[in-house]
A = this chain, B = another copy of it.
Amino acid sequence: MLDLTPQNNERFATVLSLRETAAEEPILLRGPGGLPAKEASFDRDEEIYGESEPAEYVYCVRRGAVRTFKLLRDGRRQIDAFHLPGEYFGLGSGDSHLLSAEAVVETRVAIVKRRALENVAAHDAPTACALWRMAADELRNAQEHMLLLGRKSAMERVIAFLLDMDRRLAVAGVLALPMSRRDIGDYLGLTLETVSRSLSALAEKGALHFSGSRHIMLKDRIRLRAMTE
């Protein structure tokens, strides 16, 4: 399961931030207090950690994709974020995790011991500031997502999702989605059928093209953006 073999000596320094504004962000774990990162691999749908488990590690996605989510007793699921290569997860400030995390596809992550990180932060202000910023960035995403979940229509939600994924992982204008329609629905507060119908309607209108159900090319991003704000 957890493959903790020391893989190399590279540090988190090469992995800059939660977002592609990487270069300007504070660099977690570099410098004198920098911590050595190990790596671990997870299969598709494999659990990385469970809600309310003690939080032993902090993670950074290298390859693949991770979903973090909460469950209700009857099985309803809310995915609160997808974490893509270069993004951190698992760094709330409490002792135990508040969410569960699973690999969406075959995934490799860098890990660092949480306690070590906290020890550094406790007397190194720049590291602590970096943690603050990263938490604040996640908070901003959560706030935007609450607006989506509380007040947007199904079509608006799906368009917002497509634009976000397009920005974060499109290569040469093509979006290769790692997650299923069910995952998307559980992220957007919809059913998988509603997601599918919305995507079909957009394709029908020529707003996007499919090449296989998980490969999407958006047409006219400007107009799409105007439909979610």
CB within 8 Å of B: which residues of A? 70, 72-73, 76-78, 80, 91-94, 98-99, 121-129, 131-133, 135-140, 142-147, 149-152, 186, 188-189, 229
Contact = CB atoms under 8 A, between A and B. Distances in A.
B72 A151 contact: yes
B229 A151 contact: no
B125 A123 contact: yes
A83 B150 CA distance: 19
B78 A140 contact: no
Contact of A92 (B80, B136, B147): B136
A189 B149 CA distance: 8
Nearest to A157: B150
Which of A73, A91, A137, A142 is packed against the most chain B CB atoms within 10 Å? Answer: A142
A98 B146 contact: no
Which of A80, A136, A138 is packed against the most chain B CB atoms within 10 Å? Answer: A136
A136 B151 CA distance: 24
6 contacts: A93-B133, A99-B143, A121-B128, A131-B132, A139-B139, A149-B189
B151 A77 contact: yes
A139 B151 CA distance: 20
A220 B136 CA distance: 37
Nearest to A79: B150
A146 B142 contact: yes
A122 B132 contact: no
B145 A146 contact: yes
Given A132-B131, A229-B72, A92 B140 contact: yes
